[in-house]
Structure 1
């Protein structure tokens, strides 16, 4: 099963995993499909974003979508979204990875997007 976007002007898909391991780098990506009847994606960037902890700063990768695309974003041949968990030392630690897929800036109506899964995995050395 997957989530299907029928028609919206704001795309905001978010999640959280953790706690992450200090000193490790993680790769964040989404497995999606834009149906052939999809609309509103032309010349519109979506952002794959992630941060460490609720108060962390987001890292992001812009991605352009097109109708009939099936696969991962960022695409395997593109630079991936990587986020590194810094060593926090002692004290309060919020090591959860907050991540998401967003397009809230264009104001365009969009539809026909299927989100099959989100992946947050440790980067292989």
Structure 2
């Protein structure tokens, strides 16, 4: 286990949304990963180029956020992921991507079932609803997460290469 007493990995919570044709990529080390500081459960990279690798968890929760989202825009949030050959626990229970603007109580949830036979990197994604035409305090924050916390079943072998945010 890592020497940090907090079992969870804390990413960069002050990322500024960078606009561009391809959107903004977010490295796994800039994400918040529940159980990410415990190498029995995750291997989180120390640099921006490597992937985070899920060893095994029954509580999958990976979150992030950026500031600078335009009020009247819609956004796609996704993760580029792959499964190791020995991956387990995928396909029987859905995972969810949540996207939330500012201080909304409810975000928009997208249900995804990962095919356990999927080869190579693939994307899992969700889309936000369009915001209002006027900006209110705190509404330029866009939060997102990847979750499977309800089944209690163990899963492993998922690699997160990066997250991304882009306008659509």
Q: CA RMSD in A?
A: 1.6
Among candidates 93, 96, 99, match of residue 144 of structure 2: 99
Does structure 1 retain, via aligned residues, the 8 Å contact 2:74–2:127? no
Q: Give the C-alpha shift of residue 63 in structure 1.
A: 0.6
Say yes or no: does 1:16 pair with 2:65: yes
Give the alignment's TM-score, normalised by structure 1: 0.84
Q: Give the C-alpha shift of residue 67 in structure 1.
A: 2.6
Q: Give the C-alpha shift of residue 95 in structure 1.
A: 1.6
Which ranges in structure 1 are unaligned for 5 or more consecutive residues?
A: 75-79
Q: Give the C-alpha shift of residue 65 in structure 1.
A: 1.0
Give the alignment's TM-score, normalised by structure 2: 0.64
Higher strand proportion (structure 1 or 2): 1
SS at match of 1:112: strand
Which structure's relative contact order is higher, taking Cα pairs within 8 Å and 6+ residues apart? 1
Among candidates 124, 139, 142, match of residue 73 of structure 1: 124
Which ranges in structure 2 are unaligned for 5 or more consecutive residues?
A: 1-49
Give 1:2-13 correspondences, 5 Å limit. Answer: 2-13=51-62
